[in-house]
Each structure stands twice: as C-alpha cells, then as structure tokens.
Structure 1
C-alpha cells in the first residue's frame, strides 16, 4: 500500500485528470444503460416455460393481449370502425406478427362492452417484452375516443416493472442523497470532509455504471442492474471514503503531517478497505452460480460498481485528502492544532458513547452474548419458511394506474381470472398421432376441478399441438401453481403417461423463474461462506476470528431475512412500513440479499477487527484493544450504516415490489448488523475468547502485556494519555 501511495503522491495531477476523464466517459455510457437493459430473464433459457414460449411465438400464438372497453368495443358498425385503427396501429408495431380478437366465451353481462385482442410477437418472451415496450411508450397507439385501451400479458407486466424501476431510481436518489449529506455533516462537522465521500461515491457510481453501459452493447443486462448496482456502489464508495477521512483526521490531530497522515491511513484503513472490497466482489461473483440471466447480469453490474468504489477510494481519495490537508478537520480542531504547534491531546475522533458501551459489554460479555443471540434467533425463526414465501408478483401488486393491472382486472371481471392467461401445453408426437395425443391431454384436464376449459389447437407443424387450458383461478393463485406442478411431476403426469409434452404459460413462467433463482440459493450460500472464510483467514492471520465472523454472518443473514419476511408478508408488518398489502418475496430478493448482506456484514467486520488487531499487536491487551477499537470505529461505522440505510430507504419507497423489498431488507440488515452484531456480538464474543482470538498455526499467540506496559483503557471517549498505537 505504501508503494501505491508514493505513486499517487508523485503523479497526483495526471491521475486526478485521468480520474475526471474516466468519470465523464463513464457518465456518457451510464446514461444509455437503461435503454439497453433487457427485461425478464429470471427463468433459465432451458426451462419448459421458455421452450413453450418460443414454440408458440414461432407459430403466431398471442403472447400479449389488449383490452378495449367503451365505444370501440361495441358490437355494431360504429364499434368496429372505432376498433379498426387500434388494431392497425398495433399490427404496425415492429415485432408484432399478428393481431386478432381472442376466441373467448361470452363475457359476464354486467361487465359492459369489451373486446380482447390477442397480440402475437416474434422472439419468445423477450420479443413480447420488446413489443410491450414500444406500445407502452407510444400512448397514441393505445388510445381511442370514447374508449379505454389497456395492454396486458406477462411481457407487458415485465416491461412496466422496468419503467417503474427507472422512475423509482430517480426518487430514491432524491430521497437518499440529502440524508447522506446531513449524516456526513453531522459526523465530520467540516464541509470539505463531507464533500470527499460524496465525490468519491458519485464518481464510483458513474464509473461502474458506465462500464456496465459499455458492456451492455454486447451483453443483455437485466433491468435490475441499474437499481441494484446503484444501491451497492454508492453506499460502499461513500463508506470507504468515510473510513479513510476519519483515519486521516485522527492522525492529523496527533501531530502527523498531511503526507504521513494519508500514508498511515492507506497503510491501515486502506488495507482493510482492499480486503473488504475483495470480499464484497467475491460475494457478488457467487451470483453467477444462479442459472438466470437476470441474476448473473445484476451480479456483474454490482461487481463493476464495487470495483469502481474500491479504485475511487484507494486512488482518488488519497490525492484529494492530500490536496485538502488540514481543511478536513473541524474549524475549532484546526485552530487548536495550529495554536498548539503539535498534537491535540484530546482525541476528537474517539466516541465517548462507544467507549463506555464497549466497556459495558466487555464487563459482562456472557450476559450480552446470550441476550443478543436470543434476539437474533427470534428474527431468524420466520426465515425457516422462506421457501414457501417466494413468488413473482402478480399484476394486482402493480400501482392502481398500471395498464397491465387494469387490463388484467377488466378481463378477469368479464371472463374469469384464468381465461386470458391460460396454461399452455405443447404436445410433441408424430404427425399421425399428435392430434390424438393432444385430445387425450384435453380430456384428462377437462375432468380436473381447477380447469374451466381445455381445447386442442393445431399449430403450423403437424407434429406439434397446443392445448390451451383456461383455469378457474388466476395465474398467480396457488391452486393454479399446483395444477402446473401436477402436470409436470404429479398425478396428472401419471395419467398422461406416454404423452410427450411441455407446460408453459404465465403460471409456468412464474414457477420456472422462482425455481431457477431459489434452487441455487443453498449452493451459492455454501460457496460464498467458504470463500469468505478463506479470505478472512488470510486477511486476519487468525483461525478463530474468521470462523466467528462466518457464524455471525449466518446469524445476521437469517435475522435479516426473517425480519424482511415479517415486514413484507404479514398484515402488521406491511402496515408498519406503509405498504397497502403484504406480498411474497420476489425470488430475486433472497439471492441479492444473501450476496449483499454477507458482503456488507463482512465489510464492517473487517473494518472493526482490523482496528482491534492493530491495537492488540501493540499492547497485547485484549480487553483494552476491544474497548478502544469499538470507541474508535463506533462513530464512523454508525454513520456509515446510517448512510447505507438512507440509500436503501430511498428504494423502499419504490412502487416496484422487488425494489421495495430489497430496500427494506437491506436497510434492516444494515441496522441490525451495525448495532446488535458490531455493538454486542463481536465485542462480547472476542472478550470471552480472549487471546484465542489471535491464534494462528506457526505464529506465536501474543500474551497480555504486563500491567505497567498496557495502554490506558478508554472509558469515556478520552485516553488518559495522548499517545496512540499506530
């Protein structure tokens, strides 16, 4: 790290200019990222639902529907004349193969005039999403005087989620950034010290998203990438810069010169940031284990902004801090330092509250450890039901003015909830037997109580038939899910022994997307924890501390997930956070929370433990090092956590269910990690383990120093002497 610092000092201006130019170029590419993002991609490309979607798309089967009510839905010459330009406009949209009225049963007499047009698109699910994008962005194609026109279908649902997430990102930034500014001002009390983390954070965000924007020309990035990467990148970069600013201020107050203060901060906190960043990148890289384009590209986007955050903190921040010098201090501290001509005896960067708190916990570590463990265990209990509380959101979870929601509700009121989005079965046989096999499937399903109607329909190829199954309940209903699973692996599969078929449609797509994301969670978790353990062993030169850290990560993850389930899936929890209705977790949420929570939890662990280890190496006093380490990092970690919570809270206000759940889940995770875990579990467990914290094979375990050599304890935020361990 010293070599890097020396290089930056020798080449500060060229590096700074290059940094600014990269930020400008990154901003250019970042602006186009949203337009190149590709919605969907949760399910595996090899899933049954995707295979059925491609087959039906190739045969012109509608994948979207348009609901028309009012004048243009009238069964007379005037109605047909009003409907014609709507149909023509939709048919003229690029990617649309055919537009025609769906063959539906008579609507409910109380529903009023209604016509449902089926829209077939080329290119499978992605093709229908692309068509939905064009139709939703060109409102003139879906308007008619005296009529209401709404676009529905799975592809339209996915596209509306993308459009909502873009507006929510802007709102999240408008909410989060002012709070970040206030927290930084309260923490540092100096304008320039506040500006540095903001500049580092924004430059890292622009650089990381710019890299993703450039790669998006060749890689189909998920629509989640902008939001997920923005959450992680901004929070991490601001935190890293905060830690460096705080360490430089400490050294300046002890009389170090500006260059030496920056060099010492890089040697200590900079090294911790590097290890923390590597751990975060490793955590995010495990998202590639999930067989889902959406998850893999979201993970790639988060890796890019994390790398940008590390580079900005370790390359940009030292140069800026050297340029600012004493201006990063509070005015009164700067004046006292200049007046004294040397060190300021009182350490303004040590938190008296956290010093007293650390002493309180280490005085009775057993009680605190048991109490905090019980509290965390209570939050972990709901996480045991996670597998039953994961599902893609339905159209009813969209805002009330959503076209997809209005189209779905109007069609369901007129024809029933399972008619517009049927279960689609593709039967494959020889040209001579395909029709017979399809009729057998329809006959078996017609006797099922969950099926309203099942009809075989020929496709363009004589060896492939389609059986369209109108269900009694909606595509998101658990009973429809059970029907699809029975067709694939249950009783219905047994009754259709010998028939070769694949099950698709909206319900099947929901199941396949959920399975693809959730099934990879155990493998991802096991690999991630193993890699984190290895990294921490190398970084900490200890065996016990990394094992303890991994155990605490698991506890933190369980409590975070359980807390999110309580807040998201229960009536009381939803009311507490201002949501109108409870909702199951979107399958992308557990995957993302696992990666990010483990990364952030390890981040705080490395920052705190590295400071305690640094103090212990100089004194051999385990208790004093724990108290002093908590005191010296408590304020900045609390502020960093507050900043992360502010950033995540902005996303919790989203109208998009997965973004809303991610915001709440991550904010809750950071809250308990920075308070219960870092404030209680870490110091209490380290106090109980004593010198075994530092045991490492082939290295002697330091023993406590004699009382006369120990560093004075910090019990009120002030050391009893002005010396410090560096």
Structure 2
C-alpha cells in the first residue's frame, strides 16, 4: 500500500490523466445508457406466489401495459351538458392523434355509458386509456399525454388531471431528481464550509468534495453498464450520491489530515505520503471493507430495490477507496505544500504535533480525562437518555405509504384526491385469484361457488366481481374479489394470509390446477414476508462479518463486542426517533417532515446495514489511533486520551459532513427520502459525538487492559494491520 502511494505521488500525471479518462468515459456512459438501465418497477428476484400469478396471467391478458385515468371536472357544467361532452371528445381526439405506437385505446362515459365513470354529483367524469407499452417504456411516452392534459387544464371552467402507473412513475422520477439536486446542493455546500473550517484553507477544503463528486460520476457510470445487463431500480442514483458524498469526503478528509500531521513532524513530502499510507490509508481501507461487509446485508434480500441499493452503495465505496489509494496521493504529490494554500484568515489550519496532542492544554484531553475519572456516571447518564428512545422501536409500524403522502401541489395527488372523493377510488380494490393449469369449466364454476360462500363469511372481503376471465385453452383463469382493505396495510396482509391458508385451499380442493393469490395486495404481503424472513439473516451476516474483521484488526474480542453493541444502540435510537418524529408527530413540523402512521417497510433493514457500516468508520479511525499509541506506551488511559484528542477535530468534522449530506436529502419532498435521511442523520450524529466522546472512553477506562484481551485459542487468526511495520 505504501509503495503504491509513493509511486502515485512520484508519478502524478500518469495517475491523474488515467482517472480523467475514466471520468470522461463515465460521463458518456451516464448520458447514453443510464436511463435505459433503470426501472421504476418494484419486483422480486425470486418468484413468490404473487409473481407466479402475474406470470401465469400473461397467457390470459398478454404483456402488462401501462394504464391511465384522465379526470375531467367542472364546477360550472354537468357531465350531461354539451360543453362537457365537447371538451372530453376533444381530449380523446388529441389522444388518438398520438398514434397507436403511444396510445392503444381510450374510452369515456360517452362511448361506454358506464355510470361508474361519472362522479356522484355529476360534475366529473373519467377518460380511460391504455398505453401501447409497459410502465417503464411508458415513462418516455406519457409526457406527450401529459402535454394534452395540461393544455386542456387551462380551459376555463374545467380542471383536467391525470393519474396512472406511467404518470405516477414519471412524477416520482422527477421528484426524485429534484430531491437529488437539493440533497447535493445543500449537503455539498455545508460540507464545503465544514471542510474549510477544519483545514483552514480553500485548496485542502475543496479537494475532498471534488474527489467525492468524481467518485459519484464514475460509480453511476458503472451503474449504467450493470443496469443495461441487469436492470436496476431508479433509486440507486440517490443511494450512490448520498453514500458517495458521505464516504468520499470522509476518506479524503482523514488521509489529508494525517498527511498534514506527518508533514508537520518535519518529514519530507514523499516520506509523509508513505507514512500516511501506512496508517490513515490502511484505516480507510479497513473502514471501507467494514462498510462493504455491512452493505452485503442489503444485497442478499432478493428484491430489486434492496439489490439495487446495495449494488450502488458497494460500487461507490469501492470507487472512493480506489481514489483514496491512487488519485489522492497523486494530487498530494503534485500539490505538495500548496495543499495548504489559499488559507482563510482567522482560521488556524496548523496541525498540532504529537506532544501538543497529548498536552493537558488540549480540550479533548481534558474532556477524556473527565469522562475517565467518572466512567460509571458517564455511562449511566448517557444510557438513561438513549435507551428509552431506542425502546420506542417497539412501536415501529412498517408498511407502504401511498400517493397521498406526496406533495399536495402535484397534479397526480390532486387527481387522486378527486378520484377518492368523487368516485370512491381506492375504497374498493381487488384480491386476484389466478388459476393456472388445465381445468374443466364445470369444476371451475363449482369452485367459484364455494369461494363465493366463503368470501361472504370474511369480514374484509365484499364479494366476487363478475364472472371468471378464462383463456381459450381453459388453462388460465382470473377471479377478482372486491375488498375494502387498503393495499399494503396490515389488514390487507392478514386478508391475503386468510385467503392463502384457508379460503382458497378449501374452495379449490377439487381442482388439480395451481392456485395463486396475486395482485397488489398479495405483492405487498409477499414483500413484507420476505423482509421479515431475511431480517435475521441480514443481522447475523452483518454482525458476524464486522465482528470478525474488527477482531482480526485489533487483536481483541472485547473491542468488536463493544463496537457491535454501540452500533446497535445507534440503530435503536435511529429507529426510536423515526417513531417519535414521523409516526407520533413529535417535532416533525420543526424539520418540515410529514406525519405518517407508517415507516416504509424496507427502510428499517436498509438503515441497519448503512448505519452499521458508516458508524464503524469512526470506531476504526478512533481505535486505530488508540491502538497505535497503546502499542508504543502500553498505557491504556493515555492511549485513549491520545486517540480521542488526535482524531477529535477530524471525526467531528467528518460526522458533521455526513449529517449535512443526509440532512440535505432529509429536506426533500419524498417521504421515504425524509425518513432515510433523518434516520441516517441522527444515527451518525449520535455516533460521532456522544458515543465517541463519552461511551468509548468511559467503557475503555472501566475495562482497562481487558480491552485488548484475545483468547489464546484465537491467536491463529490472521492479523489485518492498520499500521505497517516500520
């Protein structure tokens, strides 16, 4: 590692131009291929029952095409008035002109005379249309439909809105992009200010931000390649940006800080680079590996969103590490002491020498000394505050938030509100029963009769809608059951369970065909079940791998046990605050967050993996300095003081940078981004402050030499060194 850093510092132009070429190639990949590699669809990697049902339906309904509803409402005219009919007819004419490549068909009340297409007070009606392509492809076509809708929405006395799969996906994409830009601008701006304050100069302050953005562009270029081979969720770009800013800035910050410290010890430029590579850069690599091990927990959950988020995070962490190993030493070698140029007046950017770091005049030494004089009191006070917050996790309710949680001024939300209020849209949905396999029509009818009787006895099922849809080969049938359950709710999940466990098996016992409970209700039930099923495996994998890596790094079983417990406390507090702020609405208005009864079902598991990985950063950087000094002095108390004081400013700055990055995303409009950003923000803030400056020194004081206890029967394990032999 030291040889690589020295080579890069001595040959900066070769390395810099290589990275510039990779950057240019990544820009091309992003522009040309990224959009085609991402999807808004939420699918499973495996095939649960709901997916099997949808696949069987292809023989009955064909490929699933995107469908839309256009809402036409007037406070002046009734649907029976000619003015109303003329406007609807004009809209349909313009839709037809788009051609069969965009619109497969469209229909309205004036053709079907379906009373369900007219509102209760006769002042609104619906135009139904089916696009000629799937939802993903429809995102490219639906803007032309939206243009027509917007055109007629400007007509006096009428309100024209659209809602459907493609329009929702298009609006979600747009909102996600806006949140991404907002998160980057807020997080990046605040991070830049913090970096300048930490380093006291513009050059050293700007460099980490530039390298983080470079890593994000390159990582998204790799995502574009992978996405065109194996399609990924569009949320991956938010993940790459958020994690890329956080770790990219932090890793560069730690390395530059250590390099300046070594230069301040009067080592020449190349020797300072070598010594930095043998200490801080090694810690960055170990920290990065720890983060990646935690992120593996996301990847093993077989749903597209989890796999995509995990892949995106892993890619950007790897790219950030490679930049730290090669490009950063090259830039340091090129800039030399110009790294400290453009200093900001009144900011002291001079790095302290070791003797000053351990001096009693250092505020962090004094604070660590205070905590270690009263370790039990320090631990008790902190735990009295944090444990009750983490216990709020018992009230955590997960599920799926609907369109109504999106910003109220969005047209799709306005359309949803009209449909809900005027047409009872959403109050009745269907549980879909799919029969797959050869069957006799008489046997199917008999089963449907039994099903109808059983449905009438269920409190959450209303009745069978119409007659079964059957294909010409009599091997696929669809029976739809009306239900008042809200899609994604616990009531809906329980209804699906009753259908699968008792109602459907009893009704279709006389058929040899495969019977699937499918549709939107079943999809969410399968997703919740999958998350519950994989959660223990994810926790076990992340905790075990992190424990083993830390044990081999610090040659102790006590250090990793404490690290795991403290990180679990951070995660627990993050969960508890999500409950208090979002579910119970305590202080949500202060932050501008929505109050909701539900936390998105995938967020807790996602937060666990990301928080656990990022929190390990601070443990590795702090404890590596503690271990470094302990190896020299064998004085546990002095080593803790040295480790805390030598990393305090940098880790505090790094923590505040992550808080700024996650805070920028938490201020977005999408509820799920608010929940993710806030959860990460509070966990990292807690870990980089209270846990690092109170719990770590207090616990290390209480345990003394036992901190470094390693059973003899484990000494055969290889050592992962954070400091090279000099």
**TM-score, normalised by the number of residues in structure 1:** 0.87
CA contact (8 A) 2:287 2:617 kept: yes
CA contact (8 A) 2:117 2:125 kept: no
Could you tell me which residue of structure 1 aligns to residue 447 of structure 2? 437
Structure 1 residue 221: deviation in Å? 1.2
Could you tell me which residue of structure 2 aligns to residue 27 of structure 1? 27
Return the match for 2:574 from 554, 560, 563: 560
Cα offsets for 1:440-464 (capped at 9, x unmatched): 4344324544344522332334333
Could you tell me which residue of structure 2 aligns to residue 37 of structure 1? 38
Structure 1 residue 13: deviation in Å? 1.8
Return the match for 1:319 from 330, 333, 354: 330
Could you tell me which residue of structure 2 aligns to residue 472 of structure 1? 484
CA contact (8 A) 1:288 1:299 kept: yes
CA contact (8 A) 2:72 2:88 kept: no
Q: SS state of the match for residue 477, structure 2?
A: strand
2:371 paired with 1:361: yes
CA contact (8 A) 1:179 1:646 kept: yes
Q: Write out aligned runs for 1:290-689 (5 A).
A: 290-329=301-340, 352-386=362-396, 389-418=397-426, 421-428=429-436, 430-432=439-441, 433-455=443-465, 456-461=467-472, 462-489=474-501, 501-689=515-703
CA contact (8 A) 1:365 1:685 kept: yes
Cα RMSD for the two superposed structures: 3.4
Distance 1:476 1:491, change over 3 A: same
Distance 1:698 1:473, change over 3 A: closer
Distance 1:150 1:129, change over 3 A: farther
Return the match for 1:242 from 253, 256, 259: 253
Structure 1 residue 536: deviation in Å? 0.9
CA distance in 2, matches of 1:452, 1:91: 39
CA distance in 2, matches of 1:454, 1:568: 37
2:138 paired with 1:131: yes
Could you tell me which residue of structure 1 aligns to residue 720 of structure 2? none
Q: Write out aligned runs for 1:145-160 (5 A).
A: 145=152, 146=155, 147-153=158-164, 156-160=167-171
> How many residues are matched?
693
After superposing on structure 2, the runs of 4+ consecutive aligned residues of structure 1 that deviate more than 6 Å are 330-335, 342-345, 348-351
CA contact (8 A) 1:649 1:663 kept: yes
Stretches of structure 1 lacking an aligned partner (at least 5 in a row): 702-724
Structure 1 residue 331: deviation in Å? 7.8
2:182 paired with 1:171: yes
Structure 1 residue 697: deviation in Å? 4.2
Distance 1:476 1:88, change over 3 A: farther
CA distance in 2, matches of 1:181, 1:348: 29
2:288 paired with 1:285: no
**TM-score, normalised by the number of residues in structure 2:** 0.87
Distance 1:289 1:700, change over 3 A: closer
CA contact (8 A) 2:215 2:320 kept: yes
Distance 1:98 1:82, change over 3 A: closer
Could you tell me which residue of structure 2 aligns to residue 717 of structure 1? none
Is the deviation greater in 607-616 or in 436-445? 436-445
Q: SS state of the match for residue 611, structure 1?
A: helix
CA distance in 1, matches of 2:529, 2:567: 25
Could you tell me which residue of structure 1 aligns to residue 89 of structure 2? 81
Structure 1 residue 556: deviation in Å? 1.7
CA distance in 1, matches of 2:411, 2:623: 52
Distance 1:15 1:471, change over 3 A: same
Is the deviation greater in 10-19 or in 71-80? 71-80
Distance 1:204 1:144, change over 3 A: closer
Stretches of structure 2 lacking an aligned partner (at least 5 in a row): 716-724
Return the match for 1:68 from 66, 71, 86: 71
CA contact (8 A) 2:69 2:127 kept: yes
Structure 1 residue 346: deviation in Å? 5.0
Distance 1:16 1:120, change over 3 A: closer
Is the deviation greater in 151-160 or in 579-588? 151-160
